[in-house]
Amino acid sequence: MGQLKSDGRAIDVQAPAATAMSFGELYRIDGWTGFAMRNVGAADTDKGLALEVSAERIWYCVVPAAVSGARGTLVYWTAGAGFKRATTDLTSTATGGAVGIVEEARDGSGVAAIRVFNGANLVV
């Protein structure tokens, strides 16, 4: 018998040990790219959180200077497997498969509007 598990807009993940995560920032965990739906402190014992992986919404998030393109620029995770965070590991230099697209260019505060592609298995 089949049964709906989820609408697929978010998945439950565990933040890596001793890692702080911020609500609304973009991460890659367990091969999924998405936005953290709550804050997690580095010393928190409850490391569980939802990661929004839906391509239906656009989020403002902090990105490094390496994401320097205008609207329509594709974004990628830097080379290497494992946990990634947009504030340090996102780039507009083609590295593997694209994980999202810039909807609004990075401003002087380092914030850009990003739409993720389907968040699953975009590690190339």
- Summarize pLDDT for 55-64 with one digit per residue, the tens: 888 999 999 9
Whether 88 contacts 71, CB under 8 Å: no
Extents of the domains making up the chain: 10-116
Instruction: Report d(CA 14, CA 44) in Å as an integer.
Output: 11
- Supply the pLDDT for residue 6: 67
Instruction: Report d(CA 70, CA 99) in Å as an integer.
Output: 16
Q: What is the pTM of this model?
A: 0.87
Q: How many residues does the chain have?
A: 124
Q: Name the stretches of the chain with pLDDT < 70.
A: 4-6, 119-124
Enter the tokens of residue 53.
């992986």
- Supply the pLDDT for residue 121: 45
